[in-house]
Chain A
Amino acid sequence: MRLPLGTVTTLAWRNLWRNYRRTLIMLAAIAVGVWAMIFMNAIMRGMTDQMVRNGLNLLPGEVQIHHPAYRADPSVVNSMAPPSGELLAALQAAPVEAWAARVRVPAVVASEYDSRGIVLVGMDPAPESRLGSLPDTIIEGRFLDSADDRGVVLGASLADRLETDLGKRVVIMSQDPDNNVAERGARVVGIYRARLRSTEDVFIFAGITPTQAMLNLENKVSEIAATGNDYRVAEGWAPGIAAAAGPGLEVRHWQALDPFLGSMLSVQDGFALVFMVVIFLALSFGLVNTLVMAVFERVREIGLMQALGMRPGLIMLQILTESLMLLALGLVIGNLSAWLSIKPLESGIDISSVAEGMEMMAMGTTLHPALDYRDMVLSTVVVIGLGLLASLLPAWRAARLDPIRALAKN
């Protein structure tokens, strides 16, 4: 038998609007639910995205190479030779877009008034800028101009604590590989501002050559960082770098470097789904209710149709089509309003009133919601899939009605 699909669709569509108030209320509920699913997830994705990016900025480079003991013991002793041969070739080939070698050791900085424990980063500004690891803004002076620059660049908050300023001298103390105190005086050539105050307090940037000289490192470095275009896929190409680096070095992608950020992302994906299902469950009561009532009102009519030879399967199909139309319409409105409400917000929502709380989560003061088409797809799948599942019961009950009794019902 050929399914009279055209008739079923027309019938379902007209049935939907017989009780237009009920349909409109249900439609509004579905639309609000779908909007909330997408909107909430866009905000959450915006937050995690920023956390990951801020986290990566603190330890720039999605893939990092270290001496095997460096991560547990970030000392000058655990340094390595700069990349050469096969590793150098791997770093210069795709998918690596930029890489840099740097010295990164704990140190103490002292001004004439105060001293602080910090992390000294000796770097070559040219490759680091391609890597995106330079501070966001230089508020005074300039950034390092070359690997040989003898000046240092401090964070604004640290400069304030040390009561030092542009052009003044500070003393940097650390140790050399033989544990002799290594120190050098340097002029403050620039002051930077970072998104997070903790970054400003911790990192001091200096040219890599004078830093290596001060620490008696010759040409050794503590860290090689490399980046591709998307932090989400770093896991894929890290093994290639590891193979090129050989067994003497440790190669890690960022998820292994910072388990918090890594777990953040996977927990977030889990939450997106849980959130959608919870919202849907709240919706489903209304949906089932609407269908149950729609069937209840039409018991006689359905009985008549059965008496005239309509098969139970078709009746079920018709109820399900009705529910599908309702869901699809709600989804369209919900997705559209989500898109319309998120787009204008993408330039950022100001959350500076809770800035310090956000800083605990490594967030800045502006939140950028990120509309992800996957959330739209996921919400559609959840709503249509579970929605049809919830409609099965009323549809099945309708199909199982006994025509004689149904017709006799008043």
Chain B
Amino acid sequence: MNVAWRLAWRNLWRHRRRTWLTVGAMVFCNTLLVFLISLQLGSYGMMIDNSLGAFTGHAQIQHRDYFEQSKMRQTVPGVVSLASEVRQLTARESVAARAIGFALASSEERSFGIQITGVEPGYEARVSSLPGLVNSGRYLNAGDADAIVIGSVLARNLRVGLGDELTFLGSGRDGSIAAAVATVVGIVDSGIEDLDRAMAQVPLSWFQQVFSMGDQGHSVVVKFADLDDVAQGVAMLRDQLDLGDTLQVHDWDYLQPGLQQAITSDMTSAWFMYAVLILLVAFSVLNTQLMSVLERTREFGVMLALGMKPATLARLVGVETLMMAFLGLALGVLLGAVVSWYLSIVGFYYPGMEEMASRFNLPDRMYPEISALSLLWGPGIVFIGCLVAAVYPALRLFGLRPVEAMRAV
């Protein structure tokens, strides 16, 4: 170990208590940052997966105005063959065609306006989690025609059970009247009120017949292996498919812009708090280092008189800060990682979270995500902040005059 480093290390422990208090501030701040950031990143991941997994998927091919206006006649022609073409291009089975319409659904006792989705029974379960949540009856089969699967809240509101019939009255794509009768074969209970109220799925071929759609539909939903594959996959589809002017490939960010923005705004407001914490720790370091420079005025005067350059002394103060900051970083990351790791196993919960979580499609326990980013993002900035805080004390050394300094008390 070279002399400057050894000197710095010893200087650090001249005021044991002061150094530990300063390091303690860093450790406190770092632990908190690691825990909060990994919790945030974990919940964002879950929020995206749950929101997209329920219905939207990672990408959709739609008529270019359908997303904004969702009119019945903004269709995708030959939607089933397009879906199988996408399946070949992506080499994935998780591609499904859909069509969506509105109708007044009537049971024996009740009538409600609902949104009906025509799906490909064989493929829908691969892009959406809803088919897997059927809790009574069964999901649609390839051979089904006038069968419907509905959400549990809708079933309750319509007062229907398995085997009951629902009558639909709506308008078809060409403005004609669409009327039909379907039998309830399954009821889905996702636990999310909004989904269970809105869900009503029928086989796509039957939907096309009832709503005079011909071979058309409204979207082809694609789910990739991973969120990280979406950008590449969407680019490939845009490149390879001949979609003409009217059709477009939208990724999930376009289809659910609220999701990314909710994450951005949450991250922004969280960073306001983090910035304040980091600033406070930096003040703490500034205070400590300034005091340690001022109390050593005589000593520094002697060193200057012996021919040491001010830059060398400044470097000494810098190395001291570096050591202190590193100690804070190492201990803070370690402690934060332990806390996050423990909570990533048992889950994190606070009272009142349930109601909020369900609004963002989150489960009622959160699991922090531990990664290099979540561990080092916050503490890294604390580290830099601490070094910056030592600049002013170090700069003071350049104004020091040896004779006056040696006379200082």
Contacts and interface: CB of A to CB of B under 8 A. Distances in A.
B71 A163 contact: yes
Contacts of A40: 272-273, 276
A357 B260 contact: yes
Contacts of A359: 258
A351 B104 contact: no
Contacts of A357: 257-265
Interface stretch (B53-61, B140-148, B288-296, B369-377): B288-296
A179 B109 contact: yes
Taking each of B70, B113, B170, B273, which has the highest tally of chain A beta carbons within 10 Å of its own beta carbon? B113
A278 B277 contact: yes
Given A161-B70, A179-B106, A356 B258 contact: yes
A101 interface: no
A263 B352 contact: yes
A189 B106 CA distance: 29
B291 A117 contact: no
B342 to A, nearest CB: 19
B196 to A, nearest CB: 13
B115 A29 contact: no
Interface string B351-380: 111111011100000000000000000000
Nearest to A26: B287
Taking each of A77, A117, A358, which has the highest tally of chain B beta carbons within 10 Å of its own beta carbon? A117
Interface stretch (A85-93, A103-111, A139-147, A245-253): A103-111
A403 B21 CA distance: 26
A300 B229 CA distance: 69
A283 B280 contact: yes
Interface string B25-37: 1001100100000
B401 interface: no
Interface in A114-128: 114-118
Judged by DSSP, the binding face of B is helix
Contacts of B18: 289, 292-293
Contacts of B280: 29, 32-33, 279, 282-283, 286
Contact of A360 (B109, B170, B258): B258
A354 interface: yes
Taking each of B104, B264, B281, which has the highest tally of chain A beta carbons within 10 Å of its own beta carbon? B104
Interface in A32-64: 32-33, 36, 40, 43
Contacts of B175: 112-113
B198 to A, nearest CB: 9
A173 interface: yes
Given A278-B277, A290-B287, A260 B104 contact: no
A33 B294 CA distance: 26
A22 B290 contact: yes
B346 to A, nearest CB: 20
A262 to B, nearest CB: 8
A21 B71 contact: no
Interface in A56-102: 72-75, 77
A282 B277 contact: yes
Judged by DSSP, the binding face of A is helix
Interface in A260-302: 260, 262-264, 266-267, 270, 275, 278-279, 281-283, 285-286, 288-290, 292-293, 296
A173 B114 CA distance: 12
A404 interface: no
Contact of A161 (B71, B108, B115, B263): B71
A174 interface: yes
B277 A279 contact: yes
Interface residues of B, number: 69
B315 interface: no
Contacts of B109: 77, 179
A226 to B, nearest CB: 24
Interface in A305-332: none
A27 B333 CA distance: 29
A283 B281 CA distance: 8
Interface in B1-59: 15, 17-18, 21-22, 24-25, 28-29, 32
Given A281-B28, A354-B264, A361-B359, A25 B113 contact: no
A28 interface: yes
A181 B106 contact: yes
Nearest to B21: A289
A344 interface: no
A259 B287 contact: no
Contacts of A19: 291
Contacts of B103: 108, 115
B158 to A, nearest CB: 9
A360 B360 contact: yes
Contacts of A112: 175
Interface in B153-175: 156-157, 159, 169-171, 175
B206 interface: no
Contacts of B341: none
A67 to B, nearest CB: 15
B286 interface: yes
A175 interface: yes
Nearest to A171: B171
B406 interface: no
Contact of B286 (A25, A266, A292): A25
Nearest to A23: B287
A263 B356 contact: yes
Given A29-B283, A115-B102, A108 B261 contact: no
A29 B283 CA distance: 6
A160 interface: yes
A75 B261 contact: no
A174 B294 CA distance: 82
A260 B265 contact: no
Contact of A267 (B21, B262, B356): B356
B279 interface: yes
Contacts of B113: 106-109, 115-118, 173
**4 pairs of A and B residues whose beta carbons are closest in the complex:** A357-B261, A117-B113, A285-B25, A357-B262
19 contacts: A32-B279, A36-B273, A113-B72, A117-B113, A161-B70, A173-B111, A181-B106, A267-B351, A281-B28, A282-B25, A282-B28, A282-B277, A282-B280, A292-B21, A354-B261, A354-B262, A354-B264, A357-B263, A357-B264
Interface of B: 15, 17-18, 21-22, 24-25, 28-29, 32, 69-73, 102-104, 106, 108-115, 156-157, 159, 169-171, 175, 257-265, 269, 272-273, 276-277, 279-281, 283-284, 286-288, 290-291, 294, 350-356, 358-360
Given A33-B280, A296-B15, 8 more contacts: A108-B104, A110-B171, A114-B171, A264-B356, A267-B352, A270-B351, A282-B280, A285-B284
